[in-house]
Amino acid sequence: GLRCLQLNSVSRVCSAPSDGAQHIRLLQWNILSQTLGQHNDGFVRCPDEALTWQHRRYLIVQEILQNQPDVVCLQEVDHFKFLQNVLGSQNYDGIFFPKPDSPCLYIEENNGPDGCAIFYKRDKLQLIGYDTRILEVWRVQSNQVAIAARLQLKATGREFCVCTTHLKARHGALLAKLRNEQGRDLIRFVKQFAGESPLLLCGDFNAEPIEPIYATILSCDLFKLGSAYADIKLERERERERERERADQEQLTASCDDPNELIAQSIKREPPYTTWKIREDGEECHTIDYVFYTPQQLKIKNCLEFPAGEQIGKNRAPCFEYPSDHFSLVCDFELLDEPLSED
- Compute the C-alpha angle 278/281/283, nearest 5°: 35
Q: Which of 70, 185, 204, 211 binds ligand NDP (CB under 6 A)?
A: 204
**70 scored as a contact of ligand NDP (CB under 6 A):** no
- Taking CB under 6 A as the criterion, the residue among 101, 261, 283, 321 binding ligand NDP is 101
- Binds ligand NDP by CB under 6 A, chosen from 19, 106, 196, 339: 106
Q: Is 62 in the site for ligand NDP (CB under 6 A)?
A: no
**From 52-60, 98-106, 241-249, 327-335, span contacting ligand NDP (CB under 6 A):** 98-106
Stretch that binds ligand NDP, among 53-61, 97-105, 227-235, 259-267 (CB under 6 A): 97-105
Binding pattern for the stretch 71-90 against ligand NDP, x by CB under 6 A and - elsewhere: -----x--------------
> With contact defined as beta carbons under 8 Å apart, do 319 and 59 qualify?
no
Q: Name which of 42 and 195 has its Cβ closer to ligand NDP.
A: 42
CA distances from 115 to 29, 32, 99, 105, 147 (A): 12, 11, 5, 12, 10
Are the C-beta atoms of 228 and 162 separated by less than 8 Å? no
Q: Give the separation between CA 217 and CA 71, rounded to whole angstroms.
A: 21
CB-based contacts of 322: which residues, under 8 Å, 6+ apart? 59, 307, 312
Report how many residues bind ligand NDP under the rule CB under 6 A.
17
Among 10, 13, 169, 340, binds ligand NDP (CB under 6 A): 169
Q: Which has the closest alpha carbon to 206: 274, 149, 137? A: 274
Rounded to 10 degrees, what is the CA torsion of 263, 266, 272, 278? -40
Q: Which residues bind ligand NDP (CB under 6 A)?
A: 30, 36, 40-42, 76, 99, 101, 103, 106, 143, 168-170, 204, 206, 279
